[in-house]
Amino acid sequence: MNSRAGVRLGRRGTLFVVSAPSGAGKTTLCREARLCIPDLAYSVSATTRAPRAGEVNGVDFRFVSEREFRAMLERGELAEWAIVHGNMYGTPARPLEAALADGKDVLLDIDTQGAAQLRTRYPEAVLVFIVAPSMAELEQRLRERGADAEGNIARRLARAREEIALWRTYDYLIVNRDVKEAMDQLLAVIQAERCRTTRLSLTLPDLEVSE
């Protein structure tokens, strides 16, 4: 709600979904977006994969066992879920719904499978796809981060080709040639969508124009 100069704006929160092949830089961009937009909520996904160096449970991911993850599925607690590179990932539905209902914008960093499920569940969601400038650049980034064995890199590159083929199912495409340039583009998408008239109700002093 914005009451500056007598203007009152109201709206339900917007769900922003960011997807990209491994190594394209979506995690970095999402982290920077949260720093630049303090009121942007971030949904922490649950995953069965092991934590990477520097990752904090409950902050980067909620790290759970496969048994616990499947129990969450059976209880209907996940808004979306997918198996990616042999590990299970999912978005808890309750905190997501609560944030949106409270008018908070929520940022999700998830794969293309999860994004497709969320598009069905939340048709008004804004989907953003991040891509590296070339497959050669993507491969170089995967090797430089040193987190994967040779066989895993090959699997990630094969999966990347499948994911990139889906780019037209997204609302926005950002080519991550330079982190600052890509960050500016992502922030521009978020700010523009916040101003979209179809998402707003507007009240001026002595004039109701919410429709």
Task: Give the whole-angstrom CA distance, residue 196 versus residue 193.
Answer: 5
**What's the pLDDT at 9?**
67
Q: Could you read off the pLDDT of 171-185 as tens digits, one per residue? A: 999 999 999 999 999
Task: Give the whole-angstrom CA distance, residue 100 versus residue 11.
Answer: 9
What residues does each domain of the chain span? 4-43+103-208
Looking only at the bridges linking them, the beta strands covering 106-109 and 15-19 are parallel
- Lowest-pLDDT range of 20-34, 147-161, 171-185, 195-209: 195-209
**What's the pLDDT at 114?**
93
Distances (CA, A) of 172 to 21, 81, 190: 15, 22, 11
DSSP 8-class letter at 167: G
Domain 4-43+103-208 fold: Rossmann fold (3.40.50)
Give strand pairing partners of 10: 201
- The interaxial angle of helices 135-145 and 150-164, nearest 10 deg, is 140
Do 137 and 22 contact (CB within 8 A), yes or no? no
pLDDT at 112 over 90: yes
Buried b / exposed e over 86-119, threshold 16 CB at 10 Å, is eebbbbbbeebeebbeeeebbbbbbbbbbbbbbb
pLDDT band at 148 (very low <50, low <70, confident <90, very high): low
Give kind and range of the element (H or E) at residue 66: helix 66-74
pLDDT band at 4 (very low <50, low <70, confident <90, very high): low
Give strand pairing partners of 88: 83
CB atoms within 10 A of CB 80: 24
Instruction: Note the pTM of the prediction, 2 decimals.
Output: 0.84
Buried b / exposed e over 141-171, threshold 16 CB at 10 Å, is bbeeeeebeeeebeebbebbeebbeeeeebe
